[in-house]
Structure 1
Amino acid sequence: MRAKVEYPCRNIKQVFGYDKVRYRGLAKNRNRLYQLAAFSNLLIVWKELRT
């Protein structure tokens, strides 16, 4: 179970640069995290479809 969660977290942190949270307000940080999670899911699906 943990391995399924670690790969998207790696994408969000390393590929999309979400290693530090900047103070923008809770709503803006939450929306940015949701957006990066969606991009991470798209990246994973895109890599799966290519193989």
Structure 2
Amino acid sequence: MRPGKRRQLDLNNRLDAIFNQIERLKAGIRAKVEHPLRVLKQQFRYTKTRYRGLMKNTAQITTLFALGNLWMARKVLRKA
């Protein structure tokens, strides 16, 4: 649902309140998915891809996601 449509919802209306809650849940899931992708794009400069073969692309993405997990856990790893 577009933000303008969501602002127009009447939260006193039961159906609109349910729609609003659904949109909040979807936004939370979207945020959890987008954060690792942002790490790949910003920290590792993975903004453009080129075809290198399916195996090479898969290996590169897998490695970058592993590095992204380490990057997001770096504060916890430093304390240990």
With normalisation by structure 2, the TM-score equals: 0.56
Query: What is the aligned residue count?
Result: 50
Pair 1:17 & 2:45 matched: yes
Partner SS, residue 5 of structure 1 = helix
Q: Structure 1: how far apart are the matches of 2:47 and 2:73?
A: 23
User: Which of these residues, 8, 30, 55, is aligned with residue 27 of structure 1?
Assistant: 55
Shift of 1:4: 1.1
Pair 1:42 & 2:70 matched: yes
Shift of 1:21: 0.9
Which structure has the higher relative contact order (CA within 8 Å, separation 6+)? 1
Identical aligned residues as a percent: 51
Which is higher, the Rg of structure 1 or of structure 2? 2
Task: Give runs of ≥4 in structure 1 deviating > 3 Å.
Answer: none
5+ long unaligned stretches in structure 1: none
With normalisation by structure 1, the TM-score equals: 0.82
Query: RMSD between aligned alpha carbons?
Result: 1.6
Q: Structure 1: how far apart are the matches of 2:70 and 2:33?
A: 15
